[in-house]
Amino acid sequence: MGIISLPYPRNDSHVGLVNRTVVTHFTLSGIPNTDGLQTILFVVFLAFYLCTLLGNLLILAAILGDSRLHTPMYFFLCNLAMLDLGLPSIITPKLLANLCGQSRVISLGGCMSQVFFYQFLGSTEGLLYIVMAFDRYVAICHPLRYLIIMNWRMCAILAASTWVTGSFHATILTSLTFTLPYCGPNVVDYYFCDIFPVAKLACVDTYVIETVTFSNNGLVPMTCFFLILMSYVRIVYSILKMNSAEGQRKAASTCASHLTVVMLFFGPCVVFYIQPHQSKVVATALQISTDVVPPMLNPVIYTLRNKDVKRALRKLRGGQTTAH
């Protein structure tokens, strides 16, 4: 069962030691209401995962292999591609193993790793979207000062800050979650180890961890989302003031890709925040749409709307490129 018995001291004048169980493994319940659909879901999630890996690896290879794409915007896009490679890799392999009939058991260390890296990469990606919005803001609202403001030192600082802050955020939440005592039961009512489903199994009151987690996973993403929207209000205002129709089109095109991926990433968060008491099936579907769909679609969105990336991909496969 993944549970062992150990003596624990208790503050009781009449009882010195009591036997309390300690969880060493968890069991994931999986996706609800999917009996008989395991094979179909396995094929779908495997296809999504392979497309995600292929798409983001191609984006990385194209940008790194074309010196004309060594600019701040594509530097941040490389960071996004790395995050989109990592985030689904935390969840999907174990989910695929569960769907094909393998054990649903996950070790305590494995569960801790899922919680940490999910929070780490997820929060880093949310912060990176703010940095990308700032990059677009400077490029469109202050074009003459763009190269001065967004120099390589500033780009490195901004990118590193997102990763360091995400790591700090994940360390706090993971530590708070796994310093709680777990005495059984050990069935996580979810398809992967996340903070709320795991903390519900603790033997003590979890009000503090639930409050902290709601603030970090609710208020923080909403704050990030509104900061990005505010920057785009200013960007749209600047685009409308442009005299050149071609300049307006190019500026709108580069911003549209970023705004689309932002909506894909933060959209489910907004729904959760507005209506926190969703049914289990709806909540799981929204979570899956956040974890699986954006990492797969991001390379497609940036490729379809970006001639420079298309040219780099043609160059990567040995095709001819036309000079501009």
The pLDDT value given to residue 51: 93
- Predicted confidence (pLDDT) per residue in 21-39, tens digit: 577 888 898 888 778 888 8
d(CA 174, CA 31): 23
pTM assigned to the model: 0.84
Q: Which residues pair with 20 in a beta bridge?
A: 6
Token pair 């509104």 in the structure block, residue:
226
- Predicted confidence (pLDDT) per residue in 69-114, tens digit: 899 989 999 999 999 999 999 999 999 988 887 778 899 899 999 9
The pLDDT value given to residue 33: 79
User: ∠ at Cα 295 (169, 268), nearest 5°?
Assistant: 65
Highest averaged pLDDT of the listed ranges 35-39, 44-48, 238-242, 315-319: 44-48
Handedness of CA 200, 204, 205, 211 (dihedral sign): negative
Neighbours of 164 (CB within 10 A): 12
Token pair 């907004």 in the structure block, residue:
270
CA 90 from chain center: how many Å?
10
Domains of the chain, first to last:
32-100+115-179+212-316 (1.20.1070.10)
| C-alpha distance from residue 175 to each of 94, 112, 119, 195, 212 (Å) | 23, 9, 12, 11, 12
- Predicted confidence (pLDDT) per residue in 141-161, tens digit: 888 899 999 999 999 999 999
Strand order in the sheet with 105-107: 105-107, 25-28, 187-188
